[in-house]
Chain A
Amino acid sequence: MPLFDRLYNFAHWLTQDRAEAEDLVQETYAKALKGFRSFQQGTNFRAWIYQILRNTFLTSRTGLKSAISVSLDEEAPPENLPVASGTPESILLQRSDQELVQRALEKLAVPYREVLLLCEFEEMSYQEISSTLAVPIGTVMSRLSRARRALRDTLQEMQRN
């Protein structure tokens, strides 16, 4: 099954719950099989199936809740990340603690979490992310920039505590 493990991983990150993630993946496969004719040969299969998964998630109870809980202010130009005040070592990376990063990712708003996963983990191009999320490339870039800053802030805060 193409992409099964990765799709499940992505679904679990979105829903934060095993049972919900399983339902989401199952529904995604059902929709993909049913709608395979609508997939245009030569276009990006991966972006297509992630798009199905994400749209299915957004219409679920958890997805609807996550969509209204955050205002992304996408139209504003992306603010630049503040340059680190200390040396890089002094901030977060001395402890390359996976669990810490995972907890920080969990704390992020869903739109930030998903764009980070698609870019860093799925290694999608901006174009692919733009197709998957159905937003312009400029929005992908600004959202990504905000997501990275949010993750960094969260990590710093967690480290301070």
Chain B
Amino acid sequence: MSCDSWTQKLDAYIDGELPVAEARALNEHLKQCASCGAEGLLRVQQKRMVQAAAFRFKPEAAFRARIQKQIATRKRFGWGPRWFPVVATLAAVLLVGTFAFTFHRGRRSEQPLLSELVDQHVATLASANPVDVISTDRHTVKPWFAGKIPFTFNLPELQNTPFTLVGGRVAYLRQSPGAELIFRVRQHQISVFIFQEQGLPGTHEDRSPETSLSFETRSWQHNGLRYFMISDAGAADLNQLSQLIKDAG
């Protein structure tokens, strides 16, 4: 490469804007070529001189105070009468929000089991190893639980349905072991928890569909087992899968 081509890159080199490989090559050239080296030195010195000479004008104290006052006035104005409707609206929203939050917490405390399971579902989604037994085959997953949980259950045939069985793991609720089964529908994961009814607090009635932290949940009871279903999939998907599981059970 000619010296002309190298010196064209000098500015970008000095400004630290040259890609690493090119900078390295130019650096090598500068070591060997006296004329380019001198030119580089000159440009660096000029840059440094401008840097040193450029901080020349300092604002006067009175001007600084004026600007500070201008900013402070604007800030105070921000809470003045003109903004009353906005502030009032914000306060109202905050009040309603606080009330709704308290109310929501109250409702959640009525269903601590569900919220605990929602947490477990989220932990499963976040986990690098979401399942302990990986299989789409119900005849593999079901026997895997034998000896690990004190009950057994039936799994539905999922052929010709949009659902896939991903696998399962042992879950615990109130110190009792149970099964967590993970299904997939499109890109959504659905956790189905199965625990023994005995020892679980709450009513034995089936819960109507509801949402908890925006997750769709279902809960029902069958043959002494309590089923909980949690997912961010649509209500129709959950209805369909819960019906399939109920039919299998």
Residues of chain A whose beta carbon lies under 8 Å from any beta carbon of chain B: 1, 4-5, 8-9, 12-13, 18, 21-22, 25-26, 29-30, 33, 78, 80-81, 83-84, 87-88, 91-93, 96, 98-99, 101-102, 105, 116-117, 119-121, 125-126, 141, 144-145, 148, 151-152
CA–CA, A126 and B15, complex, Å: 9
B47 and A87 form a contact (CB under 8 A)? no
CA–CA, A152 and B11, complex, Å: 14
**Contact with A33, one of B36, B38, B39, B71 (Cβ below 8 angstroms):** B71
B54 and A152 form a contact (CB under 8 A)? no
**Contact with A83, one of B39, B46, B59 (Cβ below 8 angstroms):** B39
Nearest-CB distance from A75 to chain B (Å)? 17
B39 and A8 form a contact (CB under 8 A)? no
A8 and B58 form a contact (CB under 8 A)? yes
Q: Which residue of B lies closest to A26 (CB)?
A: B67
B4 within 8 A of A: yes
A9 and B54 form a contact (CB under 8 A)? yes
A22 and B63 form a contact (CB under 8 A)? yes
The A interface is mostly helix, strand or loop, or mixed, namely helix
B127 within 8 A of A: no
A105 and B50 form a contact (CB under 8 A)? yes
Residues of chain B whose beta carbon lies under 8 Å from any beta carbon of chain A: 3-4, 7-8, 10-12, 15, 17, 35-36, 38-39, 41-43, 45-47, 49-60, 63-64, 66-68, 70-71, 74
Residues of B within 8 A of A22 (CB): 59, 63
A120 and B54 form a contact (CB under 8 A)? yes
With A84-B42, A152-B46 already in contact, the answer to whether A98 and B15 are too (CB < 8 A) is no
Residues of A within 8 A of B71 (CB): 1, 29, 33
Q: Closest 5 interchain pairs by CB? A: A12-B57, A121-B54, A101-B53, A8-B59, A120-B50
A91 and B42 form a contact (CB under 8 A)? yes
B70 and A29 form a contact (CB under 8 A)? yes
CA–CA, A88 and B71, complex, Å: 48
CA–CA, A144 and B50, complex, Å: 13
Nearest-CB distance from A30 to chain B (Å)? 7
**Contact with B54, one of A26, A91, A105 (Cβ below 8 angstroms):** A105
Residues of B within 8 A of A4 (CB): 59, 64, 67
> Could you say which of B51, B58, B68 has the most chain A C-beta atoms within 10 Å of its C-beta?
B51
23 contacts between A and B (CB under 8 A): A4-B59, A8-B58, A9-B54, A9-B55, A22-B59, A25-B63, A29-B70, A83-B36, A84-B38, A88-B38, A93-B42, A101-B52, A102-B53, A117-B50, A120-B47, A120-B51, A121-B54, A121-B55, A125-B17, A141-B12, A144-B15, A151-B50, A152-B46
CA–CA, A4 and B65, complex, Å: 11
